[in-house]
């Protein structure tokens, strides 16, 4: 088998491979805070944070992710929190204490707006999060955080760990081919 035949075969297999799930991290920094009971605490607060990640697989190949394609979704109210400490609503790490943990709607097109509506209900704490507000009920108290034009929103893809290795292997292969071709002439 010649090198050109091998290269064509590798390209054909790569093109025919099924899609793989992609992970995206999201964050919302700065919300209008409504304490629900103390007007002195109400107002825009830059320290308020909502972040997390989702994993989705574009099964229908339309370039966007929908609820049926979502395989993992987690969120947190603390920045720089490891994945294990986030509240997982979809995926293998949904906690036992969660009476009703679900993402009710979800849509994301890379480069576009992230839209979601999720619910986390426990024994003492109920939370509803969307791409425009976050609402919490704890016993008989409640508070909410609302996205404003000042809110900084970020959705970033997380590169696969093997991507850098595959790129390096490809460069090494090209270098070997160049060396082999030079040795033949």
| pLDDT tens-digit profile, the chain (185 residues) | 565 555 544 444 444 444 568 999 999 999 999 988 888 889 999 988 888 899 999 999 999 999 999 998 888 877 666 666 677 777 666 666 666 788 999 999 999 999 999 988 876 678 888 888 888 888 778 888 899 999 999 999 988 665 555 666 666 666 667 776 777 77
Q: What is the pLDDT of residue 183?
A: 76
Going from N- to C-terminal start, the domains of the chain cover 22-160
Q: What is the pLDDT of residue 138?
A: 80
Q: What is the pLDDT of residue 16?
A: 42
Q: What is the pLDDT of residue 84?
A: 63
- CB neighbours of 73 closer than 8 A, spacing ≥ 6? 52, 53, 54, 55, 88, 89, 90, 91, 103, 106, 116, 118
Q: What is the pLDDT of residue 139?
A: 76
CB 42 within 8 A of CB 146: no
Is this model's pTM higher than 0.85 or not?
A: no
Q: What is the pLDDT of residue 6?
A: 54
Give the β-pairing of 70-76 and 133-138.
Answer: unpaired
Q: What is the pLDDT of residue 4?
A: 59
């Amino acid at each position: 088998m010649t090198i050109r035949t091998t290269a064509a075969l590798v390209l054909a297999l790569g093109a025919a491979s099924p899609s793989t799930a992609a992970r995206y991290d999201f964050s919302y920094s700065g919300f209008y805070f409504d304490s629900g009971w103390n007007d002195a605490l109400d107002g825009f607060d830059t320290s308020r944070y909502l972040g997390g990640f989702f994993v989705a697989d574009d099964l229908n190949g339309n370039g966007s992710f929908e609820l049926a394609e979502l395989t993992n979704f987690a969120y947190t109210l603390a920045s720089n929190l490891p994945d294990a400490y986030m509240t997982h609503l979809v995926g293998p790490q949904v906690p036992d204490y969660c009476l009703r943990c679900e993402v009710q709607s979800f849509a994301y097109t890379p480069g576009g707006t992230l839209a979601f509506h999720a619910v986390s209900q426990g024994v003492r704490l109920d939370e509803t999060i969307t791409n425009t507000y976050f609402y919490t009920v704890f016993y008989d108290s409640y508070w909410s955080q609302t996205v404003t034009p000042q809110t900084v929103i970020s959705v970033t893809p997380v590169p696969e760990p093997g991507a850098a290795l595959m790129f390096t292997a490809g460069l090494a292969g090209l270098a070997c081919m160049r060396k082999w071709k030079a040795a033949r002439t």
